[in-house]
Amino acid sequence: MVSEHVTLPPFQALIDEHWRDVARLARALAGPVDGDDVAQRAWEKAFAAYPGLTSARNLRSWLLTITARCATDVHRARRPQTPLDDAPPVAVDGPDAADWPDAHLWQAVNELPERQRFAVTLKYVGDLDHHGVAAALDTTPAASRRLVSDALATLRTRLGVHDE
C-alpha cells in the first residue's frame, strides 16, 4: 500500500482562519470564566496533534471537536468526587451579554442536561452537522439528532415557544 503525503496548511493559517470559531464555542460550552482557558487548551492539543494528521479535510470540525472535549474536561473537573443526592443542579455561567444578547435563552441552555447542552451548542454555535456533533460527543449521528431534538423541545417548553 502506498501512503500519500498529506499537505496541511501552516498551523498559523489554521489559527487565523478558525480562532473565532474555537473561542466562541469554548465560551459557549465552558462559560466566560473558563472559555479562554478551554480555547487555549484546545489550540495546544491541536498543535501537538497537527503533524500526525492523515487528512486535511474538515479541519474546522476537527478543531471544534477538540474544543468540545476540552470543555467536557473542564466540566468533569468541576464535579464533586462524591455524588450529592440532595444538591441542586449547578448551571455554568453562560456567555457574556455583549457576545450573546439573549441572556434568558442562554440561561435556559445552561440548565439543559450536559450532553443536550453540548449537542445544541455544537450544532448551533459551532455550526457542526450531526456527524460533527456525534464525533465531538463520541456518539452516533442518530443520537446527536436525538440530543439536539430533545434540547430544542425542552427549550421551547421552558421559553414558552409554541409551534403554530
Of 97, 138, 104, the residue nearest 118 (C-alpha)? 138
What is the tens place of the pLDDT at every residue in 82-127?
A: 554 554 544 444 444 445 567 778 788 888 898 898 899 888 888 8
Looking at domain 100-159, which CATH architecture does it have?
Answer: Orthogonal Bundle (1.10)
Among the CATH numbers 1.10.1740.10, 1.10.3720.10, 2.70.160.11, 3.30.70.580, which is that of 1-80? 1.10.1740.10
The DSSP letter of residue 84 is -
What is the tens place of the pLDDT at every residue in 26-69?
A: 998 888 888 999 999 999 999 999 999 988 888 998 999 999 99
Where along the chain do its domains lie?
1-80, 100-159
